Structure 1
Amino acid sequence: METGKQKIILLLKVLAAFLIIITITFFGFRDSLLRQAIARLTTKIEQKYDSALSVKEARFEGISGLSLNEITLSPKNADTLFSIQKMRTSVNLWHLLLGEVQLGTLEIKNGLVQLTQKGDVKNFAAFLKKDNEQPTTNDKRDYADFAYRIISKALNLVPTDMSIENLTFKLDDNGKKATIDIKKLQLFDKELETSINVQTNTFAQRWKIKGFADPRNKKADIRFFNIDTGAIKVPYFDERYNLISSFDSIRLNIENIDRSGGELRIDGFTSIANLKINHPKIARKDVVIKNARFDYRFLLGSDFISIDSSSTVQFNKIKFRPYVAYKTSEDTIYKLKIALPKMKAQDLISSLPDGLFTHFQGMQAEGSFDYNLDFEYNKNKPNELIFNSNLKKENLKITKYGEANLNKINGEFIYRAIIKDVLQRPVLVGNANPNYTPLEQISPYLKKCVLTTEDPSFFSHHGFINEAFKQSIIKNIKTKKFARGASTISMQLVKNVFLTREKTLSRKLEEILLVYILENNRIVSKERMLEVYFNIIEWGPNVYGIGEASHFYFQKSPSELNLNECLFLARIIPSPKKFMYQFNDQGKLREFAVKQESFLTNLMIRRGLLNIDDTIYKSQPMPILGPARSYLRIKVLDSTVVDSLSINEEFDF
């Protein structure tokens, strides 16, 4: 009788024989099967993407190796998408049996990948189309599971050993060209080294990528820098988006990718040295950040994606903790929190990026501060938006103002508006100017009207109004455009006196910081700020200040303006050069202007700024008597009609 051990040995022999038979059969037919698979793929690409795939030679090498020669993919009536002269690779058989493709080695020689657009024809357009055959489902996506599967598949396609020679990537966007030529890329024993040549219409450089890469354990530490002297320039974006950018080096570190407890966690850091950016929408000068680093922890769950609050962002000496989250458990919610711990004020000033805060150069400060921002937006409940901005200061004091001489607002100075980069005529802000009007000589009605339309809480706030910011954000999100601002009179004053009207990120950031300094360091009184504001703002074509405006429209001094005239002047501040469209061809206010005036009057009555006695003469017409009348399109009556009316009146027919 056979023992149990003998039975096991016999079974193993049978299995071994069976595997040998299968292996012999497979090896005998595998090249044929490979050709059939390529034929099916070729047919699918032709039918689905209207493109031709060609593989001149394909064969297996050894147990798990695959060799392909002269591979091309060419969309119909468009440039070849890619061509590779020789490619050899191997796959992990165990993972292949489990239904996963995991590359072991990869060798590529003499390849070309190109993306072109000529007119409206893109050689890659067919591959960007959505797959309409994919089944639709209303089930919510599990973000952690989806991201982990994508990351795993991507890393499985990164071989543990790789050798690439002469692989060129070309981009041609209607003449805007960039070529990245990988002369050598080697990954061996987890060490990565490359040699890359870059050529565009504007520059040529040699780059190097070097470091550690372990795709199987999901770890990497890679540096990207320039072989030649000088910074690495970012190709294509300068021609395509007018964005000129460069940097000395970038480092990317991935320490951990782990999925457990239904959550996916990704830890690591990235840093950049001497980042330089130049774009008309950012600033007029190069913006330079000397050192920046982001220590990140991404957390993904079944219904959320977030940057965890344990992450830190640092540039120069500024370091803060961000928390960013997108949640879909019940409602769609966006969250942003920023915690900037206590730091010296001078460290902040010295860390501001060069070129982004030019008016702060040379500024000095004492004391310290900390800052917290809490923002939350519920897509289904937009009016419940949370926006809390809190700055706590400790002995904070500006000791030197630098280029922004904020004290000048207390004395006599020359103001020159800049409109569309054109410097306008000088306006003297001081008593030597006959049109300059002290605050006490301006009609009380005008002060009340302008404060109501522009900044009702001017005398109580410190430069900013949180509620105004909230309503502005809500309106802009709903309309999906910048439809409403939140400027206070303080912000308008700083923009006009110390800055320009250019619509750049730099100007807006400087405006915010200068307003805070002006309002919180007792540099100037509120009354003086309002007086200067009334004497410099544009009130019509080449009309600056209330002294000029009152004569331009009504041939009066600012103290003589009545309620109707003040309502008109307050309403046209947002678009003073378009004042003429307020009137019809008879020189009377149009219906929309009358409604605006009525709304403003009732609002001021409700707030106790006006009473019924103030509105006794409000129903009387408001004639435009000054030079502004020449801008109105008043229709002239036919003279014969006028004569006939005169005769009828004279003889009383």
Structure 2
Amino acid sequence: MALRSRKQKFFLFLKILAALLLLAMAGMYFFRDMLLQKAIAKVKSKFDSEYNCHFSVKKAAFIGATGVELHDIVLIPKEADTLLSVQNIKTSYNILELLTGDIQLKNLEMNNGFIQLVKNKNGRNFDAFLNGHKEEKSNEKRNYAKLVYRLLSKALNLVPTEMKLKNLSLRMDDMGRKVTLHMNDLRLEDHQLQTAINVKTNTFSQNWNIKGFANPREKKADLKFFNSDTSKIQLPYIDERFGLKSSFDNIHIKLDKLEMESGELHIDGFTSIENFTINHPKIAKKDVVIKNARFDYRFLLGRDFISIDSTSSAQLNHIKVHPFAEYNTEEDTIYKLKIRIPKMKAQDFITSLPQGLFTHFEGMEAEGNFDYKLNFEYNKKKPDNLIFDVKLNKENLRIVKYGEANLAKLNGEFTYRAIENDVEQRPILVGAGNPNYTPLDQISPYLEKAVLTNEDPSFRRHHGFINEAFKQSIVKNIRTKKFARGASTISMQLVKNVFLTREKTLSRKLEEILLVYVLENNRIATKSRMLEVYFNVIEWGPNVYGIGEAAHFYFQKSPSDLTLNECLYLASIVPKPKKFMWQFDDEGNQKSYAQKNQNYIKNLMLRRALITSEDTIGQSAPIYISGRARSFLKIKVVQDTIPAETNLADEFDF
């Protein structure tokens, strides 16, 4: 009897709870219009007080049991251009989801409207929404996985499973640089998305198409972007704003997985692009074209880290790369990067390089195989412990045909022309036919030792690059947050001078690195020959090329007769040869900072046993510029004058 009584009480409780829920739902249903108006008034007050914006809805009403319709929605920042205007919005909701706060839109219809972002001399009409509100500081560490999952889930829940959008535009006006993306009709039905977008800027007009699968509830998508005709899709705005022209045939984006597993967020999918073209004077002088590129990604986010998993892969034509990248804050802030290129044919690598980015490699042919590994790790609290390791394993690798940059010409006579500001300078014959050309054995040995000490001490031992120098360069650049230090070797300077232009582009720097590797690792020229060419082509002053010209220009000597002090001076001006005159005062004497620099080089040479104390005997006399270079010094002219009233005849008693 007691058991039955407890059961009866339980069922009675359920009935009462159900009745209360029904009563609450009924109350919400009957008073929902009033609740809707209150909600709109609350939103209006929030926009006014927190964002200094006027928000209005001309008409709002419920349709049926779960639908709502809004008319003439407008958002206008005060004293600025309209930010949003929509004539009509219809949507539906789930009452239980409304009660729990986990709102998922079922369907959405939106007609005749625009979002407008404007920047002009009066400011930006969206500034109030960028400033935001500072969150209260908390000692609790941010959980990256939960944060990103929550944000992505909320965003995807607001994407309806069924959608019809008509006559909507996104407008941008950045100081007269205008872009309009107009969508006549977008439909999402049975998880199939289709739309056409008219893109109009000050410089072009195109029609883009988007088609594919989209399921926001399952968090999956498979979409393609392409042009309605056979031309490439051009990216708007960035051409006018940054001078960067970019286009592509199509982009394919797929999201396979977005879910939490054991406290980690997994995001899997891929992105591919065809005939991606980019043009900018800081990248290269011509169009850079990537025919096919694909990134199969697996992002992992945990409590203390964000990473690209090593199972991810990136493919550039025939080049396949397995990357691993991680940002970790578990103890210290640590950045990690690992890159692995599995064994591949050297020729496939050459032909897969982006067109226009490596013009000096066009036509090059190679045999053999190689694989590559890079390991980089940087601890923000322990910068000096930086890890930078590179391994390249070669298998019968050799160059059988050179491209535009014929590195073998270093071994014979050739004509060199420096390029300054895109203008070719006078031709310099590198060979015996030039009376100023000086073989290495006819150059004072002090010069080789001084220049190598100052520029590249391990030149005769390294293979074009110095890992430790790269490490120190990276550490300093990270600390200063700018490119404050390079790690250039004499091999790199030689390639840059003889085969490349002085243009400061990404293309030239990448070509320099690859050409140096080919030169140094294929035994194309000996170290002595490379140094001999280097001394005979580098600039030593304004329109002064090669050590033969330099020795006469400064000291009216032959390179073999240069003293230790003179060689130290010449080594000190190699980095900035055209500014040599600033080392001297108005009396033609070398300034103290220049003398200290030369003494520093000399002391390094002594410590490294490159010279002995006997070599320094008689070398304490100051540098005296006697050649044509003296005319470049800012020397004051002191003239002795005879007073005008002096009579020469009286003076000498004529």
* Counterpart among 99, 113, 116 of residue 115 in structure 2: 113
In the TM superposition, residue 29 of structure 1 has moved relative to its aligned partner by 1.9
Question: Post-superposition, which runs of at least 4 consecutive aligned residues in structure 1 deviate over 3 A?
Answer: 1-21
In the TM superposition, residue 12 of structure 1 has moved relative to its aligned partner by 5.8
The residue number in structure 2 matching 1:30 is: 32
1:231-288 Cα shifts (integer Å, max 9, x gaps): 1110111111111011111111111112121111111111111111111111111111
The residue number in structure 2 matching 1:457 is: 458
Quick one: which amino acid aligns to residue 406 of structure 2? Answer: N
Unaligned runs of 5+ in 1: 643-653
Matched position secondary structure for 2:266: strand
Structure 2 CA distance for aligned equivalents of residues 95 and 18 of structure 1: 18
Matched position secondary structure for 2:395: strand
The residue number in structure 2 matching 1:549 is: 550
Q: Measured at CA, do residues 24 and 130 of structure 1 come closer, stay the same or move farther in structure 2, by a change above 3 Å?
A: closer
Structure 1 CA distance for aligned equivalents of residues 166 and 483 of structure 2: 49
The residue number in structure 2 matching 1:49 is: 51
In the TM superposition, residue 348 of structure 1 has moved relative to its aligned partner by 0.4
Structure 2 CA distance for aligned equivalents of residues 408 and 428 of structure 1: 13
Q: State whether structure 2 residue 89 is matched by structure 1 residue 87.
A: yes
Structure 2 CA distance for aligned equivalents of residues 381 and 636 of structure 1: 56
The residue correspondences of 1:265-414 to structure 2 (distance < 5 A) are: 265-414=266-415
Query: What is the CA RMSD across the aligned residues, in angstroms?
Result: 1.7
* Counterpart among 58, 61, 72 of residue 59 in structure 1: 61
Quick one: which amino acid aligns to residue 79 of structure 1? Answer: D
Structure 1 CA distance for aligned equivalents of residues 264 and 122 of structure 2: 43
Structure 1 CA distance for aligned equivalents of residues 11 and 472 of structure 2: 80
Structure 2 CA distance for aligned equivalents of residues 179 and 161 of structure 1: 25
Structure 2 CA distance for aligned equivalents of residues 6 and 386 of structure 1: 72
Matched position secondary structure for 2:106: strand
Q: Measured at CA, do residues 284 and 145 of structure 1 come closer, stay the same or move farther in structure 2, by a change above 3 Å?
A: same
Structure 2 CA distance for aligned equivalents of residues 583 and 264 of structure 1: 64
Quick one: which amino acid aligns to residue 447 of structure 1? Answer: E
The residue number in structure 1 matching 2:205 is: 204
In the TM superposition, residue 616 of structure 1 has moved relative to its aligned partner by 1.5
Matched position secondary structure for 1:102: coil
In the TM superposition, residue 92 of structure 1 has moved relative to its aligned partner by 2.9
Quick one: which amino acid aligns to residue 70 of structure 2? Answer: L
The residue correspondences of 1:505-544 to structure 2 (distance < 5 A) are: 505-544=506-545
Quick one: which amino acid aligns to residue 491 of structure 1? Answer: M
Structure 2 CA distance for aligned equivalents of residues 293 and 37 of structure 1: 47
1:408-446 Cα shifts (integer Å, max 9, x gaps): 111111111111212111111111111111111111111
In the TM superposition, residue 397 of structure 1 has moved relative to its aligned partner by 1.0
The residue number in structure 2 matching 1:626 is: 627
Q: State whether structure 2 residue 194 is matched by structure 1 residue 183.
A: no
Quick one: which amino acid aligns to residue 454 of structure 1? Answer: E
1:461-514 Cα shifts (integer Å, max 9, x gaps): 111111111111111111111111111111111111111111111111111111
Structure 1 CA distance for aligned equivalents of residues 11 and 137 of structure 2: 52
Structure 1 CA distance for aligned equivalents of residues 226 and 45 of structure 2: 43
Quick one: which amino acid aligns to residue 426 of structure 1? Answer: P
Q: State whether structure 2 residue 123 is matched by structure 1 residue 131.
A: no
1:605-649 Cα shifts (integer Å, max 9, x gaps): 10111111111122202111111111111223352699xxxxxxx
Structure 2 CA distance for aligned equivalents of residues 408 and 181 of structure 1: 57
In the TM superposition, residue 87 of structure 1 has moved relative to its aligned partner by 0.8
Structure 2 CA distance for aligned equivalents of residues 468 and 641 of structure 1: 62
Structure 2 CA distance for aligned equivalents of residues 268 and 542 of structure 1: 57
Structure 2 CA distance for aligned equivalents of residues 332 and 636 of structure 1: 61
Structure 1 CA distance for aligned equivalents of residues 383 and 15 of structure 2: 71
**Mean alpha-carbon deviation: is it higher for 34-43 or for 448-457?**
34-43
Structure 2 CA distance for aligned equivalents of residues 120 and 444 of structure 1: 67
Structure 2 CA distance for aligned equivalents of residues 59 and 498 of structure 1: 73
In the TM superposition, residue 19 of structure 1 has moved relative to its aligned partner by 3.9
The residue number in structure 2 matching 1:251 is: 252
The residue number in structure 1 matching 2:652 is: none
Matched position secondary structure for 1:96: helix
Matched position secondary structure for 2:363: coil
Structure 1 CA distance for aligned equivalents of residues 435 and 35 of structure 2: 95
Structure 1 CA distance for aligned equivalents of residues 52 and 627 of structure 2: 71
1:331-380 Cα shifts (integer Å, max 9, x gaps): 11000000111001111011111111111111111110000000001111
In the TM superposition, residue 106 of structure 1 has moved relative to its aligned partner by 1.1
Quick one: which amino acid aligns to residue 326 of structure 2? Answer: A
The residue number in structure 2 matching 1:434 is: 435
In the TM superposition, residue 17 of structure 1 has moved relative to its aligned partner by 4.4
The residue number in structure 1 matching 2:649 is: none
Structure 2 CA distance for aligned equivalents of residues 171 and 147 of structure 1: 28
In the TM superposition, residue 7 of structure 1 has moved relative to its aligned partner by 6.7
Structure 1 CA distance for aligned equivalents of residues 308 and 23 of structure 2: 54
In the TM superposition, residue 547 of structure 1 has moved relative to its aligned partner by 0.9
Matched position secondary structure for 1:574: coil
Quick one: which amino acid aligns to residue 233 of structure 1? Answer: Q
In the TM superposition, residue 38 of structure 1 has moved relative to its aligned partner by 1.4
Structure 2 CA distance for aligned equivalents of residues 309 and 502 of structure 1: 36
Matched position secondary structure for 1:637: coil
Structure 2 CA distance for aligned equivalents of residues 28 and 258 of structure 1: 39
**What TM-score does the superposition give when structure 1 sets the normalisation length?**
0.95
Structure 1 CA distance for aligned equivalents of residues 581 and 10 of structure 2: 102
Structure 2 CA distance for aligned equivalents of residues 110 and 626 of structure 1: 80
1:46-95 Cα shifts (integer Å, max 9, x gaps): 12111111111111222222211111111112111111111111223333
Work out the percentage of aligned pairs sharing the same amino acid. 63
In the TM superposition, residue 516 of structure 1 has moved relative to its aligned partner by 1.0
* Counterpart among 68, 72, 75 of residue 73 in structure 1: 75
The residue number in structure 2 matching 1:497 is: 498
Matched position secondary structure for 2:213: strand
1:111-137 Cα shifts (integer Å, max 9, x gaps): 1111111136111111100413x2112
Unaligned runs of 5+ in 2: 644-654
The residue number in structure 1 matching 2:219 is: 218
The residue number in structure 2 matching 1:647 is: none
Structure 2 CA distance for aligned equivalents of residues 22 and 560 of structure 1: 104
Quick one: which amino acid aligns to residue 417 of structure 2? Answer: R
Q: Measured at CA, do residues 120 and 521 of structure 1 come closer, stay the same or move farther in structure 2, by a change above 3 Å?
A: farther
Quick one: which amino acid aligns to residue 463 of structure 1? Answer: G
The residue number in structure 1 matching 2:446 is: 445
Quick one: which amino acid aligns to residue 383 of structure 1? Answer: D
Quick one: which amino acid aligns to residue 636 of structure 1? Answer: V
Matched position secondary structure for 1:235: coil
Quick one: which amino acid aligns to residue 65 of structure 2? Answer: I
Structure 2 CA distance for aligned equivalents of residues 641 and 185 of structure 1: 96
Matched position secondary structure for 1:309: coil
Figure out how many residues of one structure are paired with residues of the other and give that number: 641
The residue number in structure 1 matching 2:102 is: 100
The residue number in structure 2 matching 1:419 is: 420
Structure 1 CA distance for aligned equivalents of residues 25 and 102 of structure 2: 20
Structure 1 CA distance for aligned equivalents of residues 11 and 381 of structure 2: 68
Structure 2 CA distance for aligned equivalents of residues 568 and 91 of structure 1: 81
Structure 1 CA distance for aligned equivalents of residues 19 and 524 of structure 2: 94
The residue number in structure 1 matching 2:647 is: none
Quick one: which amino acid aligns to residue 94 of structure 1? Answer: L
Structure 1 CA distance for aligned equivalents of residues 629 and 477 of structure 2: 35
Structure 1 CA distance for aligned equivalents of residues 41 and 640 of structure 2: 89
The residue correspondences of 1:556-635 to structure 2 (distance < 5 A) are: 556-635=557-636
Matched position secondary structure for 1:478: helix
In the TM superposition, residue 552 of structure 1 has moved relative to its aligned partner by 1.0
Quick one: which amino acid aligns to residue 488 of structure 1? Answer: T
**Mean alpha-carbon deviation: is it higher for 248-257 or for 6-15?**
6-15
1:508-529 Cα shifts (integer Å, max 9, x gaps): 1111111111111121111111
Structure 1 CA distance for aligned equivalents of residues 489 and 424 of structure 2: 24
